Amino acid sequence: MQESINPWEELKEALRHQALASGFDVAGFAPPHPPPYSDHLPEWLKQGCHGGMAWIARQPERRMNPQQLLPGTGVVLVVGINYRPPPTKTHSPFAAYACHDDYHTLLKKRVQELGRWLEEKVGSPIAHRAFVDSAPVLEKPLAVAAGLGWQGKNALLVSRHFGCWLLLAELFLALPLPPDSPETNHCATCDRCLRACPTDALKTPYQLDASRCLAYFTVESHDPIPLEYRKAMGLRIFGCDACITACPWNRFAPVTQERNFLPRGELLFSSMVDWARLDADEFARLFDQTPIQRLGVIRFLRNVAIALGNWHHPQALSALEGLLHHESPLVREHAAWGIGNLGGFPPKNY
């Protein structure tokens, strides 16, 4: 006797196949319940681990419960694209996700297209919402619940096949599609990511303290970079990949096949001295449609000044002296620190 096919299971697999065919590397389905580790959020906020990102503390219950974002949610489709960059001989001062077209635009378009495809497949409208860092979504825990990987000690999603190199998006659906099974944790006793963090922002495994994280300071913060973290920044200008690249599961990850995620050559080989000379128009042109654009030229030059101060290159001092006369007090103060760190005059307020 032939077993009857569950129509919801059949629709789920058709949607997964369509997601993979449309350019996503992974696709999984999470149940419409608070995802793993969501109960840790209130204590994480209480400890101030979100730094100055006040929006994370607003309405935490919306982050913890998918039903708060789409009443009647039956399942959450979590999709991801591998963005592992090709190997280069030069060190990039930018996090890998920032060296190409902004992933938010690409992923949002594709996940919205999946929603439209599903409605055409079913033949009727379906309540759904698509998210790519655009709403209070605990995307990594949802990805764990969807079976795409586990949340590693670096607080990132770790995949057996793609390591830590997945960019995620979600499609909340008011359909009772069956969820996938969650992945188990495979970090075991490894602590490479914890040891790799330059500022001890991962002093508690599985929990990132953003108030100590270089990615937070260089990307999110509008304030002066705290003095105690400036040397630890090294040559970083936007973000930090230390806890990503340290993960041994990355050895299984192939280079991205998404052409939109190949690094822009001018971002890999431009001179730090040239970046120090950028004005607002030149900055906008160079970083157009990349995540770096959101920094704005003032915060970008703030970060460049620290990188120059850590560079110890013959050209660094003259570049910093140019920034010392910038119209922004924020840039001038960091340029003065950089000169002092190079052994010039003692840094003071400018």
Closest CA to 78 of 167, 8, 146: 146
163: which strand partners? 159
Please state, in angstroms and as integers, the Cα–Cα distance from residue 13 to each residue in 10, 34, 65, 187, following that order.
5, 23, 25, 29
C-alpha pair distances (Å), 227 with each of 149, 230, 336, 347: 37, 5, 12, 11
Helix (H) or strand (E) segment spanning residue 312: none
Number of Cβ atoms within 10 Å of the Cβ of 340 = 15
Give which of 205, 233, 231 is closest to 219, Cα–Cα.
233
User: Three-state SS for 95?
Assistant: coil
Task: Provide the β-strand partners of residue 205.
Answer: none
Tokens of residue 257, six digits:
């096949």
3-state secondary structure of 215: helix
Q: Is 25 a catalytic residue?
A: no
Task: With beta carbons less than 8 A apart as the criterion, state whether 339 and 321 touch.
Answer: yes
d(CA 230, CA 223): 13
Kindly state the helix (H) or strand (E) to which residue 74 belongs, with its residue range. none
Tokens of 339: 């000169």
Check if the beta carbon of residue 309 is closer than 8 Å to that of residue 338. Answer: yes
Catalytic residue among 25, 101, 102, 133: 133
185 burial class (0-12, 13-18, 19+ CB within 10 angstroms)? middle
Q: Give the amino acid at 287.
A: F
Please give the positions annotated as active site. 133
